Amino acid sequence: MPLPGFSLPYPLPREAMPRHVAMIMDGNGRWAKQKGRPRVYGHKCGAERVREIVEQSGQWGIEVLTLYAFSDENWGRPTEEVSVIMKLIEHYLGKEREELNRKNVRFQIIGDIARLSPALQRLLEETKRFLAGNTGLILNVAISYGGRAEITRATQALAHKIARGEIKPEDITSDLISQHLDTAGLPDPDLVIRTSGEMRISNFLLWQSAYSEFHFSSVMWPEFTREEFASALRHYSSRERRFGLVSNHDNGRLQDMSPC
């Protein structure tokens, strides 16, 4: 067990840290099964891991941490499992609110919140308000979230604006679409981490991750420690992000048209 307040030194120079890290917290169920425990035990231990990763993100000066807590597709899981995940989110917020405040964390939600229970909706809103004055890490939790549904909602909002004559179809730009997504105002993720060895995006931040770097860790989420996080960041820093352009090293080498 790490000591309270335990933190690792910066894994990268401060200026090389990603501004926004997004995480697909996968493998809770399989991890529990490997231990001969029910899936919900994996979610419980996964929620404890959230605490540590949030704390470390704040200490390293990451601006936004987005966590994929519950997808649109997860509504199809057995009712008991859905209810345990919702309770864990509730419990986490209830218990951690003061601590998040002490750590100067802000809180946001993305997803179709209307599908959640009224009590959880209230708690999410209260937490958002309670932490709104802070200036540190933005903890952005994706609940009842799907990238396609988010893009669909944004498209509908824009279509309504056109129908009301507020904008013209030609006014729609990539920036305007971004401003109508749940993540409006947040930078796109620089790094998306998925645990458990699966290499899929699973409907997560589809629009926003167009130029993100991806890190797939074989570790199951309940075992994704601060050290694993630091190692993901070091891998990220060794990549060269070109955003569709060419590497600086290759400039000036465009003249060779000899046969291939």
Indicate which residues carry an active-site annotation.
26, 74
* 14 CB-near residues (< 8 Å, 6+ apart): 61
For residues 130-149, which are near ligand FPP according to CB under 6 A?
141
For residues 171-210, which are near ligand FPP according to CB under 6 A?
196
Q: Going along the chain, which residue ranges are E strands?
A: 20-24, 64-71, 106-110, 138-145, 191-194, 213-216
- What is the maximal distance between C-alpha atoms in the chain? 69
**Pick 97 or 235: Cβ nearer ligand FPP:** 97
Identify which range of 7-15, 57-65, 82-90, 129-137 contacts ligand FPP by CB under 6 A. 82-90
Identify which range of 56-64, 81-89, 107-115, 129-137 contacts ligand FPP by CB under 6 A. 81-89
Distance of closest approach, residue 196 Cβ to ligand FPP, in angstroms: 6
Task: Name beta bridge partners: 70.
Answer: 143
Q: At 61, list the tokens.
A: 């000066």
Q: What Cα–Cα distance (Å) separates residue 91 from each residue in 79, 85, 86, 103, 118?
A: 18, 10, 9, 18, 15
Distance of closest approach, residue 101 Cβ to ligand FPP, in angstroms: 16
**Shortest Cβ contact with ligand FPP: which residue?**
29
Distance of closest approach, residue 32 Cβ to ligand FPP, in angstroms: 8
For residues 19-78, which are near ligand FPP according to CB under 6 A?
25-30, 43, 46-47, 50, 67, 69, 74
Q: What Cα–Cα distance (Å) separates residue 192 from each residue in 67, 217, 259?
A: 10, 11, 40
Q: At 98, list the tokens.
A: 């003061």
Distance of closest approach, residue 65 Cβ to ligand FPP, in angstroms: 10
- How many residues belong to the site for ligand FPP (CB under 6 A)? 19
Helix (H, G, I), strand (E, B) or coil at 25: coil
Residues that bind ligand FPP (CB under 6 A): 25-30, 43, 46-47, 50, 67, 69, 74, 85, 88-89, 92, 141, 196
